[in-house]
Structures are given as structure tokens and as C-alpha cells.
């Protein structure tokens, strides 16, 4: 299976998730439940791509090392 995103895209999405969570942490007291849920879902969606990329990258490196 080949990577569906590049390392740069994974890094960008991780950074976007970090910024989203930082904004959430700083303004959570002024947000209603639906806004909090939206921000958490956005961060989760960004992190899903990054974690999938990292898992696949680790698998590929382990396979290469086993050769």
C-alpha cells in the first residue's frame, strides 16, 4: 500500500490540528457545545490522516529493515 498523503501533508495536518486544539483550549469557556464538538471533530479528522501515515510509514520501514 502506498502513502495516500506526503510527509509534508502529514506535517501540515499535524500543525493544523495543533493550532485547532490550541485555539480550543484558549476559548473553550466562550464556546457552546456544538462549537466545541465541531472543533474536536476537525482536529480528529486532521489527526486521523497523520496517524494513518505514521502507522504506514513505520510498517514500510520495518518491512525494509527485515529484508
**pTM summary value:** 0.74
DSSP string across 5-66: S-HHHHHHHHHHHHHHHHHHHHHGGG--HHHHHHHHHHHHHHHHHHHHHHHHHHHHHHHHHH
Model confidence over 17-65: pLDDT tens digits?
999 999 999 999 999 999 999 999 999 998 998 898 899 999 999 999 9
Residue 6 has phi, psi (to 5 degrees) of -85, 170
3 secondary structure, DSSP code = -
pLDDT value at residue 1: 42
Amino acid at each position: 500500500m502506498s502513502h495516500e498523503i506526503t510527509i509534508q501533508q502529514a506535517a501540515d495536518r499535524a500543525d493544523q490540528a495543533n493550532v485547532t486544539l490550541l485555539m480550543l483550549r484558549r476559548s473553550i469557556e466562550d464556546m457552546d457545545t456544538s462549537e466545541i464538538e465541531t472543533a474536536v471533530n476537525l482536529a480528529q479528522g486532521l489527526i486521523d490522516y497523520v496517524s494513518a501515515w505514521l502507522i504506514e510509514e513505520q510498517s514500510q520501514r520495518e518491512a525494509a529493515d527485515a529484508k
